[in-house]
């Protein structure tokens, strides 16, 4: 079992990684908890024993759960169950569950404790760690949320064996991101010239621990996304735009989050090259890592450059401009004020439709 600490100012918790980690739930609940609400989704198919009275709250499957109405339903369920400020929420599932359950915990009674029991690769290496919670609006992804750190995170690698191929791909897209973030913060693993490709060949538990170690170091240095933490959004500006462009529209592409991040990573590398920040060899490394994880770096057919730029302008990092996290001579960092024409040209070179909005 591997334990990675997340050491924040005034709050420290542990991420427990390895087979059977979910059975440590009783040990990691805060002292004095007498009741928990277990938030999960029907397909998760994993049970936990908190050792105290538990109310199970099931949220809708997929991204449909990340709505304000679902947060209200959860909080009303907590109230009916009699959860007090000294009790806790247990988020049992993937990134959608940790996002929505964490946000509900952050707002119920102005904040109660929660523990993430992550059951997907994406949740284990990224979504369950770091305290960013939230839900979607029709206008975009994750536009409403809160920073609310968990009391503990349990990453049971044993349960990953049952994941379908698309869920593995989703997690590996985020893992590909972490391949380029070694050494970005004090205490973060990696940072050497060969670390990006080295991650491809590590055993699973080591891969998870590497990614969690990077995220823990970044969050410890910048809990509320002042600047450094923005590097965790590497590849996400385009990824969120692709997800938003397809959100609620029949007949558009269907990309899992990590699959969209994989496309976003290659786009970010191509954009950085056009801006003179990196060379062709560095772009080729991005493509090798993405394909090495079995992922496709192609834009979905019919993606409109103009529509994607419009969604990217709404990104949370932006300050009334186009802001991206890009590779460069100092490593991965936020870059503000990127010329929209260069962004469009990069998208067109990757196969996007012309500058007219898609339907």
| Catalytic sites, residue numbers | 110, 132, 174, 215, 225, 229, 233, 236, 240, 257
Three-state helix/strand/coil letters over the chain? CEEEEEEECCEEEEEEEECCHHHHHHHHCCCCCCEEEEEEEHHHCCCCCCCCEEEEEEECCHHHHCCHHHHHHHHHHHHHHCCCCCCEEEEEECHHHHHHHHHHHHHHHHCCEEEEEECCHHHHHHHCCCCEEEEEECCEEEEEEEECCCCEEEEEHHHHHHCCHHHHHHHHHHHHHHCCCCCCCCCCCCCCCCHHHHHHHCCHHHHHHHHHHHHHHHHHHCCCCCCHHHHHHCCHHHHHHHHHHHCCCCCCCCCCHHHHHHHHHHHHHHHHHHCCCCCHHHHHHHHHHHHHCCCCCCCCCCCEHHHHHHHHCCCCCCCCCCCEEECCCCCCEEECCCCHHHHHHHHHHCCCECCCCCC
List the structure tokens of 132.
Answer: 């960013």
């Amino acid at each position: 079992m591997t334990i990675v600490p997340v050491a924040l100012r005034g709050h420290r918790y542990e991420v427990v990684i390895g087979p059977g980690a979910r059975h440590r739930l009783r040990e990691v609940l805060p002292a004095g908890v007498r009741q928990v609400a277990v938030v999960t989704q029907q397909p998760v198919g994993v049970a936990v024993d908190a050792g105290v009275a538990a109310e199970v709250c099931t949220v809708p499957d997929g991204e449909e759960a990340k709505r304000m109405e679902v947060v209200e339903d959860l909080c009303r369920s907590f109230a009916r169950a009699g959860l007090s400020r000294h009790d806790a929420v247990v988020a049992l599932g993937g990134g959608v569950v940790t996002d929505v359950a964490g946000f509900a915990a952050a707002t119920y009674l102005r904040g109660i404790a929660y523990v993430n029991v992550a059951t997907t690769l994406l949740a284990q290496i990224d979504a369950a760690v770091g305290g960013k919670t939230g839900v979607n609006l029709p206008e975009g992804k994750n536009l409403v949320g809160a920073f609310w750190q968990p009391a503990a995170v349990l990453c049971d690698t044993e349960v990953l064996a049952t994941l379908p191929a698309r869920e593995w791909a989703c997690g590996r897209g985020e893992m590909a991101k972490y391949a380029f973030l070694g050494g970005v913060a004090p205490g973060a693993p990696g940072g050497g010239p060969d670390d990006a490709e080295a991650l491809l060949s590590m055993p699973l538990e080591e891969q998870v621990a590497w990614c969690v170690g990077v995220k823990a170091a970044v969050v410890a240095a910048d809990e509320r996304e002042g600047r450094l933490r923005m590097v965790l959004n590497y590849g996400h500006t385009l990824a969120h735009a692709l997800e938003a462009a397809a959100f609620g529209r029949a007949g558009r592409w269907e990309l899992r989050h990590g699959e969209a991040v994989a496309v976003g990573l290659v786009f970010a590398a191509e954009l950085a090259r056009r801006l003179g920040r990196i060379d062709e060899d560095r772009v080729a490394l991005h493509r090798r890592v993405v394909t090495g994880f079995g992922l496709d770096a192609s834009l979905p057919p019919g993606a409109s450059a103009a529509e994607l730029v419009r969604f990217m302008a709404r990104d949370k990092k932006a300050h009334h401009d186009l802001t991206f996290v890009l590779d460069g001579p100092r490593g991965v960092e936020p870059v503000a004020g990127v010329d929209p024409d260069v962004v469009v040209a990069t998208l067109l070179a990757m196969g996007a439709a012309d500058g007219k909005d898609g339907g």
